[in-house]
Structure 1
Amino acid sequence: MNLELMTAQLSNFKRENEALRSGQGASLTVVKQNTDVALQNLHVVMNSAHASIKQLVSGAETLNLVTEILKSIHRITEVKDEADS
């Protein structure tokens, strides 16, 4: 979570606490603000997860390429061994 979002969320929680202490209950404005902050936080988490998935897929593709290269090297060495025999 980035610092701005966390600061906004803290501010909203403080307002909600003040409203509860004064006996007014949580106002719709505070609820809306908290919902907005939660939505922003979810977007941040979603974007981070999306980036992580892209990185994971890229890493898997790289590992697959390395596997294919190693298989080719193995086949080449087998052919060379047979030719030397």
Structure 2
Amino acid sequence: MQMEKLKQEIFILQGELERSKVENENLRAGQMTDLGAVKHIIDFSLQSLHKIITGTNWSIKQLASGVESLHIVAEVLKSTGKISEVEAEKEL
């Protein structure tokens, strides 16, 4: 009788051990999948960040070029204004 109980307990414990092993393997496989997904997300995010940086650099260069053009236009207008003043003084 005692021996039968022990055999049943051993059988139950072996079943639990097998379920634990399967669960452990599934968790490990899930972790690998999760790590793979995280790596993919990080890679995608880095690529997107590089595209944003490149676009921002291009926009900054465009802005700097535009500012330089505005300075040139301002200088031309200033010179034109001075020429107009000199012309007006000559007529008087």
Tell me the TM-score normalised to structure 1 length. 0.69
Partner of 1:17: none
Structure 1: runs of 5 or more not aligned? 1-22
Q: How many residues align?
A: 64
**Which protein is richer in helix relative to its size?**
2
Higher RCO, 1 vs 2 (CA within 8 Å, ≥6 residues apart): 1
Root-mean-square deviation over aligned CA pairs: 1.8
Moved over 3 A (4+): 23-26
Structure 2 counterpart SS, 1:59: helix
Partner of 1:54: 61
Q: Specify the code of the residue in structure 2 equivalent to 1:48.
A: G
Q: Matched residues, percent identical?
A: 41
Tell me the TM-score normalised to structure 2 length. 0.64
Partner of 2:91: 84
- 1:19-58 to 2 correspondence within 5 Å? 24=30, 27-58=34-65
Distance 2:82 2:34 in 1: 72
Distance 2:66 2:50 in 1: 24
1:27 Cα deviation from its structure 2 partner: 1.4
